[in-house]
Amino acid sequence: MEERIENGLMPECWNAKYAEYFYSYAYAKVNDSELARDLVQETFLAGLENMDRFSSLSSERTWLAAILNHKIFRIYRHRASNIFVLSASPELYENELFVTPEMKRFLGQVVTPSDRIERCQLFSFVEQALTELPETWRSVFRMRFCDGRSANDICEALQLTPSNYWVICHRLKAALRRKMGSAGL
């Protein structure tokens, strides 16, 4: 029988109890199997390093999931900053290798250098606006408009019904339109 550490954590069981679930969750968020595996292992390492911060106010799984979410958000921020840097580079931007067709339709086509600057500002604005929305909405946005995944793939990955998915899409677009309107974009 495993022995619980003073604060109730059982790190020797984390891999057996949570690895598969966290991997599925991380993969749905980052759409990269190797990165998802790395995120799970980094989560467990961070949990081990920060066991003294566990307050027993949540379950072990919830606490580890919060660590994983933090790591996923770092990936999103990193990707967003790379998009911002790439979009400011005329040579790379003209190829637009980093923008999916769905994102092009969402943001429109770039024609002039001033449009490139506006695109950079828009990417930055959208990324900031997304931080104020529920996690599921952010995941739907990124999976659909950044990763170019189909509605069926997203529903399966996030365990959504098709009707729930379309409601989220509608509300997400409406929320972004409101935020853009209030920002004068």
pTM of the model: 0.45
Q: What is the mean pLDDT of residues 141-169?
A: 85
Q: Choose among 109, 79, 106: nearest CA to 93.
A: 109
pLDDT of 25-84, one tens digit each? 888 888 788 889 999 999 999 898 888 888 878 888 988 998 998 888 777 766 654 443
With a cut of 90, say whether residue 104 has pLDDT above it. Answer: no
Given this model, what pLDDT does residue 22 score?
92
Which residue in 104, 102, 98 sits closest to 81, CA to CA? 98
40-44, 104-108, 125-129: the lowest-pLDDT one: 104-108
Residue 88: pLDDT above 50?
no
User: Cβ contacts of residue 172 below 8 Å, gap of 6+?
Assistant: 133, 137, 140, 141
Look at residue 132 in the predicted model and tell me its pLDDT.
Answer: 85
Tell me, what's the pLDDT at 50?
86
pLDDT, tens digit, for every residue of 2-13? 455 556 788 899
> What is the residue type of 170?
H
Q: How many Cβ atoms from other residues are within 10 Å of residue 60's Cβ?
A: 20
pLDDT in tens, 172-185: 888 888 887 777 76
All structural domains of the chain, each given as residue ranges with its CATH number in brackets, are 10-75 (1.10.1740)
Q: What is the structure's pLDDT at 7?
A: 65
Which has more confidence, 91 or 81?
81
